[in-house]
A = this chain, B = another copy of it.
Amino acid sequence: MNSDFYSDSIVLLEGAIEDITSKLNIIKKYKEQKEGRCPIEYVTSRVKSEESMKEKLKRKGFEVTLENALTKIYDAAGVRIICAYIDDVYEVAKMLKSYSDLEVVEEKDYIKNPKPNGYRSYHIIFRLSLDLAGEIKPVFVEIQIRTIAMDFWSNLDHQMKYKKDIKNPEFIAAELKRCADEIATTDLNMMTIRNMINNT
């Protein structure tokens, strides 16, 4: 086991995130100037912690090495794109697929097909060809695209997952599920109102 595996991985993972964040900043300003608005509201990102990466590699039966960190884990570099409206989510997904150095590895639409607990989001795993002054390194990046409301809901859901000794977990889960559906309805209503405003 290489004790430096994390600091070696992290420069590539953070490099991939910086590359994609920079692409998104550029396209946002370009679309806002050219078309008056961009479907991207804001962007956040994170690199998986050393602990989670080690734990994931071990669980999957791989050795903890730089090589495995970069080829066996697809969500070590994560980018989240928050949109105002549901149709923006699909437009952003389409935009991302147009970059010549981003190749789709896997795609999941949890908006059309929400998870049983109510989770909604659009996930794409890309293989980015990161150009390091002529040396091309492939890096996997998981991009999650969702609305502001979906994102807010998932933060609360996430909080529940990491809380121990919750009383009435089934009741809370049911309430959360109900809220997720409520939020999805509001998202649709807001999009309808926006269309009414724009189409008149």
User: A residues touching B (Cβ–Cβ < 8 Å)?
Assistant: 7-8, 11-12, 14-15, 18-19, 21-23, 25-27, 29-30, 33-34, 84, 95-96, 98-101, 130-135, 148-149, 152-153, 155-156, 159-160, 163, 165-168, 171-172, 175-176, 178-179, 182-183, 185-186, 189-190, 192-194, 196-198, 200
Contacts and interface: CB of A to CB of B under 8 A. Distances in A.
Interface centre among A130, A196, A198 (most CB of B within 10 A): A196
B155 A84 contact: yes
B190 A156 contact: yes
Contacts of A135: 98
How many monomers of this protein are in the complex?
4
Given A149-B149, A152-B190, A159-B194, A133 B99 contact: yes
